[in-house]
Structure 1
């Protein structure tokens, strides 16, 4: 008997196209699925068991992966996902990914997506989209990462910066209020994420600047998708305050850079 198909919520590009069927998840396969699946298998062989295991590809362009049970926070993000302990566990989980990834050879011939990839490149597979929607929790702690569609080789520090954007969040208060609980202390939370990861001092000093760089890459992605007439991004831009929001965010990051650096180093 075939297990009943259950739609899974969340996501932007694949919204409404991801289903669970028993112990498996079926979703649209990325163009680089074979190379990505090889990396996911290798990560597991090197001790990172906190990602879906690829099962195969279908003839109609979908991938099958193991389903990871647990809780996933969707916007507006609940308080349980934004605790300091939850944040520290995200940092720890990301460190595990990068430590295992350092031993995994990434196929340089594959068409790794450039949308959110590190513009400076690198050799470690970065997830690039560790937002709350893509982290599975158990008992209040980050237990696994899902949705590696935007993964690409880069610097681990880049992945930390992208993660900080979503989890601290590295957003001005007006922007953060759209999906996050009120009253989050951004400088203190950036320190908690870095501590959870075990980030060395030199990279802590560099992190606020890389967050700014990552924010510009995210803005450029939105601009490309809007210029192409993508309805998902057009709607999101309109609902989130248009380009004024991005201008406000750029100014806020610049104005608070010294505060973030002090929080990370002192």
Structure 2
């Protein structure tokens, strides 16, 4: 959508907190409270060789930030058919692995006020993105090329970040049906996940799902706009119950698919 003065109003997730505006090659958006630390991290990722994230331009002083616009396609609801393919899923895993390799080489300030809402409860050695949903991945030529919206980045384990991504991209929900185990394997293969993390991944997905439920519950209780309606449109808390029950019931199948012969050797 185009606003006044030729500005483009970009679609933003519920957590964005306000309008996201593109002016040429710059995106102006609400800044998280810890924006200075996020900007420092994004610059460090660039220095470490990771080009799949926006470059910070500046903090504007009015509670907003400016970052470079990343060209490409983003899958928005209703999600297009092209975003469901196995090649796309594999490329999401590969992109997340590239992020983690760069992030592992970048020191971070543990006291920078990283948000805990979607963070790994066990903490970890690098900054995870924590919100690799469909709306936060930029595609070029049918492959995941970049990540946007690092608002929920926080210290964690790489496998936690992958579990969070699996929730959206497999997706780890009953509607994924019989393909869920095979798609989880494709995502893990694309990432190059090691054997120990493969065995642990199904339970970590369950843990991440509970984290997501707690996040939504806090937002609903706080009266954040959009969350009560979103919850209702997706079946309310009963739907969350079904997701958690389904994940637990299929844990053995997921583990078997992930650890079957032919697992790629970890690149770590």
Tell me what 2:247 maps to: 253
Task: Give the total of aligned pairs.
Answer: 257
Tell me what 1:144 maps to: 146
Tell me what 1:25 maps to: 27
The answer to whether 1:113 aligns with 2:115 is yes
For the 8 Å contact 1:47–1:100, the answer to whether it is kept is yes
* 1:77 CA displacement: 1.0
TM-score for both structures, normalised by structure 2: 0.93
The answer to whether 1:88 aligns with 2:90 is yes
For the 8 Å contact 1:8–1:16, the answer to whether it is kept is no
* CA distances 1:6-63 after superposition (whole Å, capped 9, x unpaired): 1001311226510100010000011111111001000010010000000101021111
Show the 5 A alignment for 1:72-221.
72-173=74-175, 185-221=179-215
Q: CA RMSD for the aligned pairs? A: 1.4
| Secondary structure, aligned partner of 2:183 | helix
Tell me what 1:230 maps to: 224
| Secondary structure, aligned partner of 2:27 | strand
| Secondary structure, aligned partner of 2:16 | coil
For the 8 Å contact 2:72–2:139, the answer to whether it is kept is yes
Q: Distance in 2 between matches of 1:80 and 1:105?
A: 36
* 1:184 CA displacement: 7.2
Q: Distance in 1 between matches of 2:104 and 2:86?
A: 27
Where do 5+ consecutive residues of structure 2 fail to align? 261-268
Q: Distance in 2 between matches of 1:202 and 1:19?
A: 43
For the 8 Å contact 1:168–1:190, the answer to whether it is kept is yes
* 1:5 CA displacement: 1.5
Report the more deviating stretch, 32-41 or 4-13: 4-13
Q: Distance in 2 between matches of 1:244 and 1:139?
A: 39
Q: Distance in 1 between matches of 2:123 and 2:17?
A: 29
| Secondary structure, aligned partner of 2:144 | strand
| Secondary structure, aligned partner of 1:231 | coil
Q: Distance in 1 between matches of 2:235 and 2:19?
A: 27
Tell me what 1:180 maps to: none
Q: Distance in 1 between matches of 2:234 and 2:178?
A: 19
Q: Distance in 1 between matches of 2:78 and 2:180?
A: 18
Q: Distance in 2 between matches of 1:258 and 1:118?
A: 23
Tell me what 1:59 maps to: 61
* 1:4 CA displacement: 2.9
TM-score for both structures, normalised by structure 1: 0.94
For the 8 Å contact 2:87–2:143, the answer to whether it is kept is yes
* 1:245 CA displacement: 0.2
